[in-house]
């Protein structure tokens, strides 16, 4: 039961954030100043290629679906390597994101005064760490 709840939480998080990226891909601007790292609060939407935004949206949706597959809510045969490695790789991607690049993103960033940095410290890095921990818990509990 706990695995099902944790899986649904991750699925909803990934679908929601994939949806935000689709919104930005199709021209939405709400929240952009808080989601694009910058040195001095000068955000240029040209700095992030549209293709990258689309790719992130698709990957987030796929991550959500992978977790949904793990819970047997949908029954599609998936290769063993996905279950053996994918369910470990996804959490570690988000833990690494939470740690950051030591400049613009993550708990150990140097640039802390921008709108993005403030949002990253309050929301994005803790959320990434939470996603990582939940993913690891799902793996450990289901073994």
Q: Residue 69 pLDDT more than 70?
A: yes
DSSP 108: T
pTM: 0.89
* Residue 5 neighbours by CB under 8 Å, 6+ apart: none
Residues 117-121 have a mean pLDDT of: 93
Supply the pLDDT for residue 41: 66
Name, in order, each residue with C-beta under 8 angstroms of 76's C-beta and a sequence gap of 6 or more: 69
77, pLDDT greater than 90: no
Q: DSSP assignment of 16-81, as one string?
A: HHHHHHHHHHTT--TTHHHHS--SSS---GGGS-HHHHHHHHHHHHHHHHHHHHHTTSS-----HH
Of 59 and 85, the structure prediction assigns the larger pLDDT to: 59
Report the candidate in 33, 37, 1, 17 with the shortest Cα–Cα distance to residue 130: 17
User: What local confidence, expressed as pLDDT, does residue 119 receive?
Assistant: 93
d(CA 87, CA 78): 12
| Owner of token pair 């998936």 | 78
How long a stretch of residues is the chain?
143
pLDDT band with cut points at 50, 70 and 90 for residue 76:
confident
């Amino acid at each position: 039961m706990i695995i099902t709840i944790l899986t649904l939480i991750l699925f909803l998080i990934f679908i929601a954030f994939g949806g935000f990226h689709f919104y930005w891909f199709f021209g939405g601007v709400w929240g952009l100043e808080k989601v694009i790292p910058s040195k001095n609060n000068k955000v240029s939407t040209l700095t992030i290629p549209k293709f990258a935004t689309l790719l992130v949206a698709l990957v987030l949706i796929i991550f959500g679906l992978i977790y949904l597959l793990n819970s047997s809510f949908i029954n599609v045969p998936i290769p063993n390597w996905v279950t053996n490695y994918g369910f470990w790789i996804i959490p570690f991607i988000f833990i690494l994101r939470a740690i950051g690049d030591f400049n613009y993103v993550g708990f150990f960033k140097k640039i802390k005064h921008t709108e993005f940095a403030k949002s990253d410290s309050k929301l994005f890095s803790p959320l990434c760490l939470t996603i990582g921990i939940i993913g690891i818990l799902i793996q450990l509990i289901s073994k």
